[in-house]
């Protein structure tokens, strides 16, 4: 296995569920070079990565994840994802999560994405991360991520934020031995700036979140304008 192939496996470990295009952005390598290496790695006798071979739409990109073989190798690690039966719709959502991760990568100091760890206490975030603040500040912020493609039922979306408010109250009442945080914010990435503003207004209107602490605890933004202060 070449050094470049090892680097690719480690990137797939760190950015679970990733496309060729996203790997090209991270490595600076041309599409053909990355795709050739990925194909070779997927066809190994004991592959360290796998992809969604049963794509429903041929125009959709392949998505890659590490296998149990990689996770069990102490030099690689990570958590495995079996993509053999994954549907295109769900993977489109996962690709958005990875785009967000890449956009934030220079300031992210901790990232967790597996549901087994995160889906507790009544919330189901897409990821949890710790973010080093800009402008030379020494501070950090802890975020849960909600990546919205615009296909979810509004009632289900509102319920997510009710869950975060319940968790905030629970954390004030007792210490939770869970993730590395004292308090948290929620970053929600939506398709457009209008979608972001509409959701923020509706959550305030429904009395799910308090307008006086939106800036402190909630960020609503499209990916194209993503900036955390």
Q: What is the pLDDT along the chain (229 residues), one digit of tens a residue?
A: 788 899 999 999 999 999 999 999 999 999 999 999 999 999 999 999 999 999 899 999 999 999 999 999 999 999 999 998 888 888 999 999 999 999 999 999 999 998 989 999 999 999 999 999 876 556 889 999 999 987 778 889 999 999 999 999 999 999 888 999 999 999 999 999 999 999 999 999 999 999 888 888 999 999 999 977 7
* For the chain, domain boundaries: 3-88, 106-225
Residues 121, 125, 129, 135: what is their CA dihedral angle, to the nearest 10 degrees? -110
Contact criterion met (CB below 8 Å) for 190 and 148: yes
The SS3 assignment for 30 reads coil
Rounded to whole angstroms, the Cα distance separating 3 from 86 reads 29
What pLDDT, on a 0 to 100 scale, did the predictor assign at position 106? 92
Buried b / exposed e over 156-190, threshold 16 CB at 10 Å, is: ebbebbebbeebeeebeeeeeeebebeebbbbbbb
The DSSP-derived string for 148-161 is --S-S-HHHHHHHH
Q: How many residues does the chain have?
A: 229
- The CATH T-level fold of domain 3-88 is Arc Repressor Mutant, subunit A (1.10.10)
pTM of the model: 0.92
User: How would you label 126-153 residue by residue, b for 16+ Cβ within 10 Å and e otherwise?
Assistant: bbbbbbeeeeeeeeebbbbbbbbeeeee
Q: Residue 157: name the closest of 146, 166, 145 by CA.
A: 146
């Amino acid at each position: 296995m070449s050094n470049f192939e090892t680097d690719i496996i480690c990137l797939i470990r760190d950015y679970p569920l990733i496309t060729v295009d996203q790997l090209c952005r991270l490595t600076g390598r041309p599409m053909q070079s990355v795709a050739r290496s990925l194909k070779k790695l997927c066809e190994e006798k004991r592959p360290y990565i796998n992809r969604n071979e049963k794509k429903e739409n041929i125009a959709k990109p392949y998505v890659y994840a590490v296998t149990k073989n990689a996770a069990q190798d102490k030099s690689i690690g990570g958590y495995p994802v079996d993509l053999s039966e994954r549907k295109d719709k769900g993977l489109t959502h996962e690709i958005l999560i990875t785009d967000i991760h890449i956009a934030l990568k220079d300031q992210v100091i901790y990232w967790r994405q597996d549901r087994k760890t995160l889906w507790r206490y009544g919330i189901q975030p897409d990821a949890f991360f710790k973010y080093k603040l800009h402008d030379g500040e020494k501070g950090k912020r802890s975020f849960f991520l909600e990546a919205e493609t615009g296909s979810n039922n509004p009632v289900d979306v509102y319920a997510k934020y009710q869950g975060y408010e319940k968790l905030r109250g629970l954390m004030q009442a007792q210490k939770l031995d869970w993730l590395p945080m004292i308090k948290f914010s929620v970053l929600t990435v939506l398709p457009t700036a209008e979608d972001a503003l509409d959701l923020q207004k509706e959550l305030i209107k429904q009395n799910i979140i308090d307008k006086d602490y939106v800036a402190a605890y909630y960020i609503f933004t499209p990916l194209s304008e993503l900036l955390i202060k």
